């Protein structure tokens, strides 16, 4: 019985090491400039309580969400590599993507974005589009890695 535990632990350890190696290889494709440009494209003009355009805290929070969703997309890319259509992959990941979008929306609202009802709806659609964009980026890059067998 003790041997089975070691085998499972060994398997899980190797699996996690492979996952980390794959994530690192996919993340090499990103740069801070790309993330910054994306945040500015999706959230330009959103004002915070301080009156400044998108202060550093909110921007860094967007980077965090973008990276997490990018990695999520890259993890789902294996399904795409093996032939599952993107529509099915997106349907499989819908709940996770919604959670990231809602978390980003709540984060921005918490850190002081001045939002009336109309801007709140706009923020929701911006967050959804931002999350979808980074999911697809990760999905495409991950699928490329699988095709090239560089993971």
pLDDT at 22 over 50: yes
Look up residue 100 and give its DSSP letter.
H
pLDDT of residue 50: 53
pTM across the whole model = 0.82
Residue corresponding to tokens 């709806």: 121
Q: 117-148 and 32-43 helices cross at what angle (nearest 10)?
A: 150
Using CB atoms within 10 A of its CB, is residue 9 exposed (0-12), middle (13-18) or buried (19+)? Answer: exposed
26 touches 141 (CB < 8 A): yes
pLDDT of residue 151: 47
Per-residue pLDDT of 69-118, as tens digits, reads 999 999 999 898 888 999 999 999 999 999 999 999 999 888 766 666 77
């Amino acid at each position: 019985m003790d041997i089975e535990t070691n085998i499972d632990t060994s398997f899980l350890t190797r699996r996690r090491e492979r996952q980390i190696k794959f994530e690192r290889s996919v993340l090499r494709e990103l740069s801070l400039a790309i993330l910054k440009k994306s945040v500015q494209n999706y959230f330009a003009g959103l004002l915070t309580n301080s009156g400044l355009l998108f202060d550093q805290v909110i921007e860094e929070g967007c980077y965090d969400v973008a990276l997490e969703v990018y990695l999520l997309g890259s993890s789902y890319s294996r399904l795409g590599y093996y032939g599952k259509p993107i529509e099915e992959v997106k349907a499989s990941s819908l709940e996770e993507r919604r959670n990231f979008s809602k978390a980003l929306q709540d984060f921005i609202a918490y850190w002081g974005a001045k939002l009336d009802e109309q801007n709140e709806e706009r923020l929701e659609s911006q967050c959804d589009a931002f999350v979808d964009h980074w999911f697809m980026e990760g999905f495409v890059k991950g699928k490329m890695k699988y095709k090239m067998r560089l993971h």
